[in-house]
Structure 1
């Protein structure tokens, strides 16, 4: 595998891993590479520092401390109450991730039918053949999603981020 530092026309830099340099060239020529921040397909290799290997020396493994790490202190909000666990653990979503999820949302909205709160019912109808096979999206409860999975009906959950232009 070859690691390249890539850059789009808007000067966003990101990593890419390729089987060979010809695989990178082929994908770039066919417009298959795109910037994870802005979606630009004008991707090229950026300058990278050379990786210089030194003499191979066997290193002795450092002893591992078997003492478990102490849990992090709870995050406290302005009222003095502990923040919900998901806020304390997850923190803010990186801008690149939000941009990718917004692109996924746009694709789903363009290519799939919105079925609202009847998602589980419509997914079952598609699965059993009483409704036409197509992509759908909507809302469902955790219990309904678990029941669909138990019945062998594959569904996926996508974090639904607000679109930048809304």
Structure 2
């Protein structure tokens, strides 16, 4: 299947249509079978469009997810106790280790203001208790 952006030459509307090939589009257009969905005109032409070429290599989001997963491999989930845990580690009350969890924006700002080293994760994390 191929997707074309088409334009009605009478009304100016641009719309998307699917065809099995370029030849099928040309054949259907020549036969008056391609119509504008707004005004029903058959005076249709291909509109300029950017090619949809997939990127080489892995999907950038998949790569980011894999990197985040690797970063968290040796990290312990502390859930909603993240701010409390990070603060306690920073002050020396508990042993320092790599942890991740949830924090409100207010909690995160407070930690930063106190000099506690924290960073947001680029992607959401599913708590271990919710993983299938």
Q: Is the radius of gyration larger for structure 1 or structure 2?
A: 2
Higher strand share: 2
Instruction: Provide TM-score, normalisation by structure 2.
Output: 0.48
Higher relative CO (CA 8 A, sep ≥ 6), structure 1 or 2? 2
